[in-house]
Chains A and B, each alone.
Chain A
Amino acid sequence: MTGPVIAALWSHWRRNPLQLFTLLAGLALATALWSGVQAINAEARASYDAAAATLGEGRYGQLIARDGGVIAQDSYVALRRAGWLVSPVVEGRLQGVRLVGIDPLTAPGGIGPVTLGEGADIGAFLAGRGQVFAHPDAVAALADLDADVIVAPDAAPGTAVTDIGVAQRLLGREGQVSRLIVAPVQPLVQRPLAEVAPELDLRPARGGSDIGRLTDSFHLNLTAFGLLSFAVGIFIVHGAIGLAFEQRRPVVRTLRALGVPLGRLVWLMAAELMGLALVAGLAGVALGYVVAAALLPDVAATLRGLYGADVAGALTLRPVWLVSGIAIALGGTALAAGGALWRMTRMPLLASASPRAMSMAAGRGARLQAVGALGLLALAGALALWGSGLVAGFGLLAALLMGAALALPLVLDRVMALGQGRARGVVAGWFWADTRQQLPGLSLALAALLLAMAANVGVATMVSSFRLTFVGFLDRVLTSELYVYTADADQAALLEEWVTPRVDDVLPLYSVARGIAGLPSELYSARDAATYRENWRFLAAVPQVWDVLAAGEGVLVNEQLARRAGLALGDTVAVAADRALPVAGIYGDYGNPIGQAIVTEPLFRALYPDIAATRFGLRIAPEEVAGVRDALRDDFGLPAANIVDQAAIKAFSLSVFERTFKVTTALNVLTLAVAGFAMLMSLLTLATMRLPQLAPVWALGLTRRALGRYELLRAVLLAVLTAALALPLGLALAWVLLAVVNVAAFGWRLPMFFFPADYARLGLFALLAAGLAALWPALRLARTPPAVLLKVFSNER
């Protein structure tokens, strides 16, 4: 019995290839968007992990030369003899590849591209020509190297690792070391660093991966976007499966009437869908791979520019996201088909198979849907008011989006009912009533459009707000035209004396790392200068905040410190062992992972007399910047690397944002295109069921061309109404991302800006998508031969 039933079920797809394509394409697109974003995230994270494993960056304390230069190998030897467990590292660029030389015998465990105990020949690594372990993307560049190059996929991108002796020889740095890695456990007795190697500074280990923390914000946004895309996809799949079941309802009834048991039918249909989901999932993962591969160079450039994190520019096929992509496709299908199959098991054998069945069933479910929508929106409200933490933030996002999607058909139904009630003329009345009847069949595609547009509005608002805020923030913190760094206090004193007559103002930057309010923080100084008074903007501040600060009667704290320590204006914080000050102002400090506080310069110098300023901001007339920079380099002798041009930093930051925009814009367009596709497929599928409804209207005197026009108008009208609802939803989404998720994840809240022109453009784009989606079905309807329309009547009984 199973064979003929499978043949009968499959014959439906064979005779309705468009519907099969809808189902497969919807599922494949949903999987592609999800797995594409996940692939980018997975690739970036793997790169950070490789970087951390290869270089030990952030995990261990480091000794670096105070002047930023190289360390003499003698200093390393002296430190080892003095009881310091340190390991030397030499770094340099060789044919564009970052070459890192380590000493495998003294390096802490876990550093290096390979574990030397696992098959690597330590003798070959240390002796002879030496072995160079290189990331696959770096192997080609090292082809002519005087050493054995070994491919090491786990190495950081663009990096090669070798023994320190080999690296020194290849880089021409014999007797030199770039930095020293400090082992986490040191002997109890060792001579102080200042005594053994006074020219070195100890940079303590940082908790967690610094790169990882900085890039988490970007990835969180990408993940949120991936989830939204998947939600859009699930709506498409749900719609496609729902319509497929609706169309097959009479066949199911017939099969049961002819003696096929319900249980077997349900299992066969479930197996059939899972088979289709597997095919679509594989196609989706492949498509996601293409999307990720296309976007990854931009993502890699963005991450490298923003945070200095090296991400491979080429994509590796990782089993984790391949499996997760397939699992998402199967899970999504199970989720979408579960309800339809359940309803099928409850459907009486003699249930009506009329085309109205779906809308009647929708009518019955409307009350339940309204309760669900209200419940979810109430939950979102409660989470916004009382929730805290990242989980609550994402819960709020999910409740808000699902609640809105559930509410959409009900809101549209009310609008249609209103239109029907106010319609003048019989055709207008029919138009509103007919549109209302189409809502159940289109509601899932419209919900997908709603989510896609809301995601576009929300993410665009978030990214643009982030950009505006960050640019404003850069303008504030980079007010000086030039920033200079000196090697030590003596050079700083000379520089201040030399540069003062040549510039408008010199702003020394003193800083000390210390715990503030129990949190790791940095205390900075600020000179009482017009530069700060004119440019700084506060999130909250007491009146005349700069006067309070200049009088040494207050302290400024960054937003992260204020939020994490629960500080408000007027609360007292200790800025030194015997000095506490009230908080006079709270400022935004985006991208900084730790707390920061600022006191006036005289007070800082009084509290920390041993700290010398080695960094300076220089205020110069714009036309004199180049001259001063050249003089600093040529006349004063400051290395070019120690002079930073503010305009160059800003231009660089903006170029990084432009690349970020390219990624988010591409994802936005893709999501909207997927939603447009959902509209097209729903309209095409419905079109085949529409003939019995439209044929009588045609017979009563409306032309086929007019019917086609009404179909087009209907799609555009529904898109306009959906867009009108998507705008507030998208703004709410942006608010959640900026004010809830961001705060929970990173400790700072971004102000929200509005971009009406962008929203208008998006609205037009959505209308265009809906119009294009409706065009084909409308044209098909307008060109339907009268014989086909007449057949509707000839088959009637």
Chain B
Amino acid sequence: MLTVAALTKTYPGPDGPVHVLRGVSLRLAAGETLALTGESGSGKSTLLHLIGGLDAPDGGTITLDGAPVTGLDDRGRAALRRGKVGVVFQQFNLIPSLSVAANIAFQARIAGRHDAVWAQALADRLGLAAHLAKYPEQLSGGQQQRVAIARTLAARPRLVLADEPTGNLDEATADGVLDLMLGLIAETGAGLLLVTHSERLAARMGRRLHLRAGLLA
């Protein structure tokens, strides 16, 4: 489903260019779960952003379901994010002025795939049914993270990219959220690429890769 080949990315830094990714290649099949670990600054989030079409690489190729992701313009990358990829952000990125229900439905609506029954089911399974009329600022961090997961899965993406999705949760809550996420992803048949620092969470993925100084170890 996903093929990444010889991906490179460089950012300008105060002491000269910083080579964040130096030729990363990987593959991910539909329904497969993959953990991406590495130290801070190793390029994990950058790789996730490039695959999600949030940024453009300097070199290499990315293909999703056989279609090239690299080389797309802003409109094409936006269509990719709407249609095939769902990103669970490290900082939730909920829309503060929309209610929980509207946030959950938002991405599915702009993708033209809103399914009210599925959205309600996600809210129920993620324990958000009692909070649908609330606004994000009225929720705890863990609850906001579950809204972000529900929003991503409501659009039934082909590929879920999750950037430290349980980073601010205690272990028990994090395990619970991850259980729910893995179960729901298995139901949709999507692939999952999870960026995490946690060895414990990484161990629960089908496969794991370690990134060090811009290269896969």
Q: List residues of A whose CB falls within 8 A of some B CB.
A: 1, 3-5, 7-8, 11-12, 14-16, 250-251, 253-263, 348-350, 794-795, 797
Contacts and interface: CB of A to CB of B under 8 A. Distances in A.
B55 interface: yes
Contact of B93 (A7, A16, A250, A260): A250
B74 A11 contact: no
Interface stretch (B12-20, B31-39, B103-111): B103-111
B141 interface: yes
Contacts of B95: 8, 11, 251, 254-255
Nearest to A15: B97
Nearest to A265: B78
Given A8-B98, A254-B95, A257-B87, A350 B49 contact: yes
A257 B81 contact: yes
Among A16, A254, A794, chain B packs the most CB atoms within 10 A around the CB of A254
A349 B49 CA distance: 10
Interface string B146-176: 0000000000000000000001100000000
5 contacts: A1-B109, A4-B109, A4-B110, A8-B97, A8-B106
Contact of A263 (B54, B74, B98, B112): B74
Contacts of A795: 141
B81 A4 contact: no
A12 B97 contact: yes
Given A256-B78, A350-B54, A5 B97 contact: no
Contact of A797 (B78, B91, B106, B110): B91
Nearest to B45: A350
B96 A15 contact: yes
Given A4-B110, A8-B98, A797-B167, A261 B93 contact: no
Contacts of B75: 261, 263
A261 B78 contact: yes
A109 to B, nearest CB: 64
Contacts of A15: 96-97, 135
B197 interface: no
B190 interface: no
B89 interface: yes
A262 B89 CA distance: 19
B5 interface: no
A257 B81 CA distance: 7
B6 interface: no
B102 to A, nearest CB: 7
B48 to A, nearest CB: 11
A61 B191 CA distance: 95
Contacts of A253: 93
Among A256, A263, A794, A795, chain B packs the most CB atoms within 10 A around the CB of A795
B83 interface: yes
Contacts of A257: 54, 81, 87, 89, 93
B102 A7 contact: yes
Contacts of A251: 95-97
B54 to A, nearest CB: 5
Contacts of B79: 259, 261
B110 A259 contact: yes
Nearest to A13: B97
Given A11-B98, A257-B54, 4 more contacts: A4-B106, A258-B107, A259-B81, A794-B140
B82 interface: yes
A257 B135 CA distance: 20
A258 B80 CA distance: 10
Given A795-B141, A797-B168, A259 B83 contact: yes
Contact of A1 (B54, B112, B141): B112
A16 B95 CA distance: 13
Contacts of B90: 797
Interface in B96-143: 96-98, 102, 105-107, 109-112, 135, 140-141
Nearest to B151: A258
B89 A5 contact: no
Contacts of B177: none
Contacts of B135: 15
Interface SS majority for chain A: helix
A538 B150 CA distance: 86
B211 interface: no
Interface residues of B, number: 34
Contacts of B94: 254
Contacts of B49: 350
Interface of B: 49, 54-55, 74-75, 78-83, 87, 89-91, 93-98, 102, 105-107, 109-112, 135, 140-141, 167-168
Given A4-B109, A350-B54, A260 B78 contact: yes
A570 B173 CA distance: 98
B110 A258 contact: yes
A259 B111 contact: yes
Nearest to A349: B54
Among A260, A261, A350, chain B packs the most CB atoms within 10 A around the CB of A261
Given A1-B110, A260-B110, A261-B78, A254 B93 contact: yes
Contacts of B105: 4
Contacts of B74: 261-263
Contacts of B91: 797
Contacts of B140: 794
Nearest to A795: B141
Contacts of B97: 8, 11-12, 14-16, 251
A5 B87 contact: no
A262 B75 CA distance: 7
A167 to B, nearest CB: 70
A794 B142 CA distance: 11
Contacts of B55: 348-350
B110 A5 contact: yes
A3 B114 CA distance: 13
Contacts of B112: 1
A262 B54 contact: no
Among A3, A259, A260, chain B packs the most CB atoms within 10 A around the CB of A259
Given A8-B98, A797-B167, A259 B78 contact: yes
Contacts of B81: 257-259
A263 B135 CA distance: 28
A5 B105 CA distance: 12
A192 to B, nearest CB: 86
A254 B102 CA distance: 14
The 6 closest A-B pairs by CB, nearest first: A259-B82, A259-B81, A11-B97, A15-B97, A261-B78, A4-B109
Contact of A258 (B82, B102, B168): B82
A794 B168 CA distance: 10
A201 to B, nearest CB: 78
Contacts of B87: 257
Among B80, B83, B90, B111, chain A packs the most CB atoms within 10 A around the CB of B111
A3 to B, nearest CB: 8
Given A1-B112, A794-B141, A258 B98 contact: no
Nearest to B135: A15
A245 to B, nearest CB: 15
Given A15-B135, A350-B49, A794-B141, A262 B78 contact: yes
A776 to B, nearest CB: 22
Nearest to B52: A257
B141 to A, nearest CB: 7
B107 A259 contact: yes
Contacts of A349: 54-55
B73 to A, nearest CB: 9
Contacts of B89: 257
Nearest to A261: B78
B87 to A, nearest CB: 6
A10 to B, nearest CB: 9
Nearest to A11: B97
Contacts of B54: 257, 349-350
Nearest to A16: B97
Contacts of A8: 95, 97-98, 102, 106
Contacts of A258: 81-82, 106-107, 110
